[in-house]
A and B are shown apart, each in its own frame.
Chain A
Amino acid sequence: MLDATIILQILWTSLATSSYYVLFAVAFALVLKVTRLFNFAQAAIMTIAFYTAFVAVQWLEWPAWAAFAVMMAATLAASYALERIGFEALRKRGVSVMFVFVFTFMVSEFVDYLAMLIFGTWPQTVFPGIFWPVTLVGNIAISAWDLPAIGATAGAFAVLFGFMRFSRLGQFMTGVADNPELAELYGIDKRRIFLVAMLIAGAFSALGMFLYGTRAQVLPQTGLNLMLFAVAATIIGGIGNVAGAAIAAVILGVIQNASILVISSEWQGFLLYVFLFLAIIFFPNGLRLPQRRRFATASETLAEQDAPPAESKA
Chain B
Amino acid sequence: MANVLEVRGLNKSFGGIVVARNVDLDLHSGRVVGLIGPNGAGKTSLFNLISGVVRLDSGGVWLDGAPLNRLKFHQRIHRGLSRTWQHVRLFPSLPVLDNLLIATRDYPGERLVNVLFGRRRLGEHDRLARDKAMDILARMGLANVADALVTDLPYGQQKLVGVARALMGEAKCLLLDEPMAGVEGASYATMQRVVREVADRGVAVCVVEHNVAFVRDLCDEGVFMFSGAIMERGSVAELIRDPQLTELYFGH
- Min CB distance A292 to B, Å, is 10
A314 at the interface (CB under 8 A from B): yes
Given contacts A313-B17, A314-B227, A314-B228, contact A307 B86 (CB under 8 A): yes
Q: Which of A96-104, A164-172, A297-305 contacts B (4 or more CB under 8 A)?
A: A297-305
**How many residues on B have C-beta within 8 angstroms of the other chain's C-beta atoms?**
20
Do residues B44 and A307 form an inter-chain contact, with CB atoms below 8 A? yes
State which residues 262-314 of A face B: CB under 8 Å. 297, 299-300, 302-303, 306-308, 310-311, 313-314
| Residue numbers in B under 8 Å from A308 (CB-CB) | 39, 86
* Cross-chain contact B54 with A306 (CB below 8 angstroms): no
Q: Are A307 and B45 in contact (CB under 8 A)?
A: yes
Q: Collect the chain B residues with CB atoms within 8 Å of residue A302's CB.
A: 53
Q: At the interface, yes or no: B40 with Cβ under 8 Å from chain A?
A: yes
Within the complex, the shortest CB–CB distance from B51 to chain A, in Å, comes to: 9
Interface check B79, CB cutoff 8 A: no
Chain B residues with CB under 8 A of A313:
17, 40
A306 vs B55: C-alpha distance when bound (angstroms): 16
**Contact partners of B227 in chain A: CB under 8 A:** 314
Among B17, B39, B41, B48, the residue within 8 A (CB) of A303 is B48
Q: Which residue of A lies closest to B72 (CB)?
A: A299
Closest CB-CB distance, B78 to chain A, in whole Å?
16
Closest beta carbon of chain B to A296's beta carbon, Å: 8
With a CB–CB cut-off of 8 A, which chain A residues contact B41? Answer: 314
Query: Which residues of the other chain, A, contact B87 by a CB distance below 8 angstroms?
Result: 306
Instruction: Determine the chain A residues whose CB is within 8 A of the CB of B215 once the complex forms.
Output: none
**Which residues of chain B are within 8 angstroms of A310 by Cβ–Cβ distance?**
39-40
Contact between A314 and B54, CB atoms less than 8 A apart: no
List of B residues within 8 angstroms of A300 by Cβ: 53-55
| Inter-subunit contact B53/A303 (CB<8 Å) | yes
Q: Is the CB of A306 within 8 A of B19?
A: no
Q: Contact at A311–B39, with CB atoms within 8 Å?
A: yes
Q: B55 contacts which chain A residues (CB < 8 A)?
A: 297, 300
For the complex, is B42 an interface residue (Cβ under 8 Å from A)?
yes
Residues of B within 8 A of A303 (CB): 48, 53-54
Separation of A314 and B18 alpha carbons in the complex (Å): 7
Please, how many angstroms separate the alpha-carbon atoms of A306 and B17 in the complex?
17
Q: How far is the CA of A303 from the CA of B85 in the complex (A)?
A: 10
Q: Which A residues lie within 8 Å of B62 (CB)?
A: none
What 1/0 flags go to B20-52 for Cβ under 8 Å of A?
Answer: 000000000000000000011111110010000
Report the bound CA distance from A299 to B227 in whole Å. 23
**In the complex, what residues of A have CB within 8 A of residue B53's CB?**
299-300, 302-303
By the criterion CB–CB under 8 Å, are B40 and A314 in contact?
yes
Q: A300-B55, A314-B227 are in contact. Are A306 and B85 (CB under 8 A)?
A: yes
* B73 interface residue (CB < 8 Å to A): yes
The chain B residue sitting closest to A305, CB to CB, is: B87
Taking CB as reference atom, which chain A residue is nearest B49? A303
- Which listed residue (B39, B42, B43, B86) contacts A306, Cβ 8 A? B86
Closest to A299 in B: B53
A231-283 contacts to B (CB < 8 Å): none
Within 212-249 of B, Cβ neighbours of A (below 8 Å) are at 227-228
Q: Assess whether A314 is in contact with B17, with CB atoms less than 8 Å apart.
A: yes
B residues near A (Cβ < 8 Å) are: 17, 19, 39-45, 48, 53-55, 73, 85-87, 89, 227-228
Q: Can you add 14 more A-B contacts, CB < 8 Å, to A299-B73, A300-B53, A314-B39?
A: A300-B54, A302-B53, A303-B48, A303-B54, A306-B85, A307-B44, A307-B45, A307-B86, A310-B40, A311-B40, A313-B40, A314-B17, A314-B19, A314-B40
Nearest 3 CB-CB pairings of A with B? A314-B40, A310-B39, A303-B53
A-B contact pairs, 16 of them (CB 8 A): A297-B55, A299-B53, A299-B54, A299-B73, A303-B48, A303-B54, A306-B85, A306-B89, A307-B44, A307-B45, A308-B86, A310-B40, A313-B40, A314-B17, A314-B39, A314-B41
